[in-house]
Amino acid sequence: MTQETATRYPLVMVPGMLGFVRLVLYPYWFGIVKRLRQGGAKVFPVMVSPVNSTEVRGEQLLLLIEQILRETGAAKVNLIGHSQGALTGRYAAAKRPDLVASVTSVAGPNHGSELADHLERHYAKDSLKGRAVDMIVRVIAKLMVLLETGYRGPRLPVDLDASHQSLTTQGVALFNRSYPQGLPDTWGGQGAELVNGVRYYSWSGILQPGRTDRGFNRIDGSSRSCRLFARSFTREVGQCDGMVGRFSSHLGTVIGDDYPLDHFDIVNQSLGLVGKGADPVRLFVEHAARLKAAGL
């Protein structure tokens, strides 16, 4: 076994909204956890409320971090969060920087999601369309609970409205006032890499015609969804992954913000069906090596 990804501190993988550890045999971090472990890393994919506020998810994550530290004897963890998982990791690090060595945002809506704003405007919760969306999400969440085989903890609370508000531009702006660590001072810039002893990193992708709509994405329904969702963007039109804008994703040191990856491709979904020439697993391997080189 090689030791290229053998970081000093365990890697804790935090999923986004409607995230999971494993549905029957299917992992959220498809092919990623396995590859990181092959390189010598200690990796812990965790489960927090799939539909809830960032703060609720963050408190759940803190309990999981403490459990992992007890089990491993490590002093800290490296948090890697996808989508809302990035905000969840930011909350945990802000509350307990003594337990966190680094936070890495992967396609995190660190300044909010224009898709969430669009849904708020056009699918109000008291409207017929809004109630229909609410019902669909609740059904999906309940189905996921039934199929989840990688989590065996207590039942996790669900709050769809809190989850949605946590992802809007306004909701994230409120969150950022309390937890600004790693945020850029200017739109599209980079943030401080080191804050309160915690290192902050980010990377994200954008839809690129001729690449993200080619390869195996031609048969991947999640890719089609991202191309549809991208139509709701106005501020970062043409510069988003379908759910999160390029500059909205910035946090700490920006490793890259224009990889040819949609919002699901970036975690090797679905089933590793990604666009032409894309290799999202490599980004995680390279980052683990980066953390290792930094003594993390």
pLDDT score recorded for residue 142 = 82
**CATH number, position 41:** 3.40.50.1820
Q: Cα 65 vs. chain centroid, distance in angstroms? A: 17
Q: Can you tell me the mean pLDDT for 155-181?
A: 94
Q: Kindly state whether residue 192 falls inside one of the protein's structural domains.
A: yes
DSSP string, 219-243: G-HHHHHHHHHGGG-STTTTSBSSS
What's the domain range around 71? 11-293
- pLDDT tens sequence across 243-296: 999 999 999 999 999 999 999 999 999 999 999 989 999 999 999 999 999 999
Domain annotation covers residue 3: no
Residue 103's pLDDT is 98
The confidence band for 144, taking pLDDT boundaries of 50, 70 and 90, is confident
User: Residue 266: what are its φ and ψ, rounded to 5°?
Assistant: -65, -20
Task: Please name the residue ranges forming H helices in the chain.
Answer: 32-38, 54-72, 84-95, 114-122, 128-147, 160-165, 169-178, 221-229, 280-293
Q: In angstroms, rounded to a whole number, what is the distance separating the alpha carbons of residues 233 and 242?
A: 8
Q: What is the pairing mode between strands 26-27 and 22-23? A: antiparallel
2 within a domain of the structure (yes/no)? no
DSSP characters for 50-91? SSS-HHHHHHHHHHHHHHHHHHH--S-EEEEEETHHHHHHHH
Q: Is residue 52 part of a domain?
A: yes
- What is the pLDDT confidence band of residue 1, given thresholds at 50, 70 and 90? low
Is 266 among the domain residues? Answer: yes
Count of domains forming the chain: 1
Asked if residue 26 belongs to a domain, the reply is: yes
Q: What is the reported pTM?
A: 0.95
To the nearest whole number, what is the mean pLDDT of the chain?
A: 94
From CA 177, how far away is CA 197, in angstroms rounded? 20
Residues assigned a catalytic role: 83, 241, 263
67: closest CA among 92, 84, 49?
92
**Residue 5 within any structural domain of the chain:** no
Residue 20 forms part of a structural domain: yes
